[in-house]
Structure 1
Amino acid sequence: PEIETQILELYLSDKDITQQEIAKSVNCDQSNVGRKLKAIAKKFNYSESSLDYQEYLVKIFSQYKPDLVDKKIIEHYNFYPVFMPDKPEEPDSPFYIERYQIRRCSVESQCYQEIERPGSLVRIKAPNKMGKTSLIKKIQDKANENNYISQYLKFNLLIEDSNVSSVNNFIKGFNKNLKSRFPDVSEGPDWDDNNAKISCTKDLKALLLNLQKNLVLILDEVDEIFQYPEISKDFFAMLRHWYEESNNVKIWRNLRMVIAYSTEYHGTLDIYQSPFNVGLPIELKEFEKEEVIRLILLHQLDPKIVTDLMSMV
């Protein structure tokens, strides 16, 4: 019930708050506050033979949902969070679980199959902390296993004043970043500062001709440029052009692109110039209950406590 959640959140948010103050905030009798807190504790296997119910609640939430607990309370009781991953899983991590968008074929398998197709494009949309970067690592690992060349570019590193001052400057900065990954490859055609899209396209074609191998280009956090309409419009049109070129020029079939982002693109792109309506769309949503339980068991946590927490907060 909503009032239970309100009482719990108030209790955990302030070390010095009293039950009288909580009762006043949620407009209920003071006697109800203690009863409801105790009832919540019992949902999480509270036994009166152990800690008192208030301390037990602090322990459970400090360990499993510390973002709801006032730091002073955690320090006072000396309860600390259980280990949970705070960074992307490595490709061979035993804690990585495969995700499913369609039955019988994991998201990972779909991505692996797609990057093996000439001139392919994979679009990964996922909120932060939903496994996007872990999936990218798996794709990159598969590309390397296939003896492809893979390059990962994170767009937050490209957002500098000098780069975002104009479309040409941004594309030039992007091109420079990409070329720096291939120090042994000779310089491409002369750069035209007045038409960066054409120059960048010529450079990439020259790179593909030089490599003579499949190149998986992974562009992460491309939503960083959504806030720059002129830049994003031209840059994404360039990506779409590269994708389409695989139908016309054989060497472009060696390029496979993965673009990843957290939010939907709401800019004004012609449907024939957008990379967001072609290729394989992958959307990572919040974990299903079954996936959460698998993660919990892998991390040797208490599944009942965690699933009860999910239903409550």
Structure 2
Amino acid sequence: MHLEEFNRIYQNELTPKQKKVLDLFLKGETDEQIAAQIDATHRSTTSHHLRNISRKFGSPPETEPDYRCKLVELFANYKPESVTLKALEKCDRALPKFRFPEGPEPLNSSFYLDRPTAEADSYAAILESDCLIRIKAPKQMGKTSLLKRILDRGEQHNYQTTYLNLSLFDRELLASKEQFLRSFAACIRGRLPAAPSLGEWDADTPIMVNCTAYFQQLLRGLEEPLVLALDEVDRLFEYPEIYQNFFPMLRHWHENANESETWAKLRLIVAHSTEDYGKLDLNQSPFNIGLPIRLDDFDLEKVRTLVMRHAIDSQVAEPLYQLIGGHPYLLRFALYHLARNRMPIQKLLKEATTDLGIYAQHLQRHLDILQSHRELGAFFSEITASQEPVKFEQKTKIIYQLESLGLIEIAGGALAPRYRLYREYFRDRLS
């Protein structure tokens, strides 16, 4: 079930009495307490209401514990503020499944927080024939999780979908534009069972023309649109020969949608971490057209929601927010340890900015990058040492790199460490 359907049922199909019963049930009240508050004469009335409510959200399981747990699970996922820890504890099955936080959040994850505007705009865009979505955010901010959900929405409309992470291309495949484009086409073909054979490409024809002709043939063979999601396209910015050909080709495909029914079947999504496009002419690229989606930190209310979904005391939300803001991955990592009772919040906060804390590996990885690129490290050292934001006149390559790593925040022509975690950890080590 998707959020829109859940909201429709909750708002339009439940009676006022059913909503009252449900509210009391999710607060952990007993059947007798609920029956008394709705002026019922017997506790079985509560079970009767809960079974009917469960039916409205889908056919209830046969046994009573099952449909009760189903309701708790459903509301813990879509309306977590309404579910108390007391209600969760009554149904062990409804307690969150604490998967180690790495990679994108699964589609059914209780720990994925909606970004309503980004999702609504993206879901609407892929229904348009001239769709091009650009998702920009530093690493580990949820780009891939959103990509997967856009693809899932496309599949609900019976679209063909395919996802390709360009960071997985080996260096030998990036040796030349010919090798890269042939490999790119082969990867897409391997993900689409109905795709035509690559065959032999004409050696006397420019490689971009060959690649374009292949994709045109592929689209002609599809009855429904194709959603093509390209993740980590920053990988190509290190290879001018490739990106100066590949990105103009993508733009050409997108612009053809206005004139060709075949190309109108293509919906493009590109995800990247930086706006440092090297020597790429933006007017010959996909980076200044289409729908821009920027993924920012969660606000404090979202952090509180995520804390509740981990069935943790809500008081941990504010100190975590002060340390790591609303960074999705850093929050999930801390809450994973707290939910698994790995350590108390006081110990986690005290050790977080040291090499003994839970973020040691994350911080060390950034430190290795900063120390191996001296100019980058020296500039960030200046930012962490300053008590006031550091002014700048225009963005430079160094600023773009720090922004891509997620180490700085930019506001009003000034730079500051993005989180207290980064200021305190890197200040001593880089000085």
Structure 2 CA distance, aligned partners of 1:84 and 1:295? 15
Deviations 1:24-56 (A, max 9, x none): xxxxxxxxxxxxxxxxxxxxxxxxxxxxxxxxx
Q: How does 1:29-44 map to 2 (within 5 A)?
A: none
- Does the 8 A contact of 2:182 with 2:211 survive in 1? yes
- Does the 8 A contact of 2:167 with 2:235 survive in 1? yes
Equivalent in the alignment of 1:55: none
- Does the 8 A contact of 2:135 with 2:272 survive in 1? yes
In the alignment, which of 279, 291, 302 is matched to residue 268 of structure 1?
Answer: 279
Equivalent in the alignment of 1:93: 109
Deviations 1:116-152 (A, max 9, x none): 0002100011112211111111111101001000000
- Does the 8 A contact of 2:300 with 2:317 survive in 1? no
The DSSP-based 3-state class of the residue aligned with 1:107 is helix
Shift of 1:187: 2.8
Q: How does 1:25-174 map to 2 (within 5 A)?
A: 85-100=101-116, 106-161=117-172, 163-174=173-184
Shift of 1:88: 1.7
When the two chains are superposed, the root-mean-square deviation of aligned CA atoms in Å is 1.9
Shift of 1:198: 0.6
Equivalent in the alignment of 2:299: 288
Equivalent in the alignment of 2:315: 304
Aligned length, in residue pairs: 226
Structure 2 CA distance, aligned partners of 1:178 and 1:249? 21
Deviations 1:49-99 (A, max 9, x none): xxxxxxxxxxxxxxxxxxxxxxxxxxxxxxxxx976333222232222111
Shift of 1:216: 0.2
Shift of 1:262: 1.6
The DSSP-based 3-state class of the residue aligned with 1:272 is helix
User: Structure 1 residue 179 and structure 2 residue 195: aligned?
Assistant: no
Equivalent in the alignment of 1:192: 202
Q: Structure 2: which amino acid aligns with 1:95?
A: F
The alignment-based identity, stated in percent, is 40
The DSSP-based 3-state class of the residue aligned with 1:250 is coil
Unpaired runs of 5+ in structure 2? 1-97, 324-419, 421-431
Unpaired runs of 5+ in structure 1? 1-81, 101-105
Structure 1 CA distance, aligned partners of 2:296 and 2:269? 18
- Does the 8 A contact of 1:152 with 1:218 survive in 2? yes
- Does the 8 A contact of 2:123 with 2:153 survive in 1? yes
Q: Identify which of structures 1 and 2 has the higher relative contact order when contacts are C-alpha pairs closer than 8 Å and 6+ apart.
A: 1
Q: Structure 1: which amino acid aligns with 2:304?
A: I
The DSSP-based 3-state class of the residue aligned with 1:177 is helix
Structure 1 CA distance, aligned partners of 2:313 and 2:274? 33
Shift of 1:244: 0.6
Structure 2 CA distance, aligned partners of 1:228 and 1:303? 47
Structure 2 CA distance, aligned partners of 1:143 and 1:117? 11
Equivalent in the alignment of 2:261: 250
Q: Structure 1: which amino acid aligns with 2:278?
A: G
TM norm structure 1: 0.68
In the alignment, which of 226, 236, 250 is matched to residue 247 of structure 2?
Answer: 236
Structure 2 CA distance, aligned partners of 1:152 and 1:179? 12
Shift of 1:183: 4.2
Deviations 1:210-261 (A, max 9, x none): 1121000010111111111121111101100000111121110000011111
Structure 2 CA distance, aligned partners of 1:278 and 1:222? 16
**Shift in alpha-carbon separation, 1:303–1:179, aligned structure 2, 3 A:** same
Structure 2 CA distance, aligned partners of 1:132 and 1:160? 24
Equivalent in the alignment of 2:90: none
- Does the 8 A contact of 2:134 with 2:293 survive in 1? yes
Q: Structure 1: which amino acid aligns with 2:113?
A: I
- Does the 8 A contact of 2:196 with 2:217 survive in 1? no
- Does the 8 A contact of 1:215 with 1:255 survive in 2? yes
Structure 2 CA distance, aligned partners of 1:145 and 1:179? 22
Q: Structure 2: which amino acid aligns with 1:305?
A: V
Deviations 1:271-303 (A, max 9, x none): 331100011000101221221111111112233
**Shift in alpha-carbon separation, 1:184–1:246, aligned structure 2, 3 A:** closer
- Does the 8 A contact of 1:237 with 1:273 survive in 2? yes
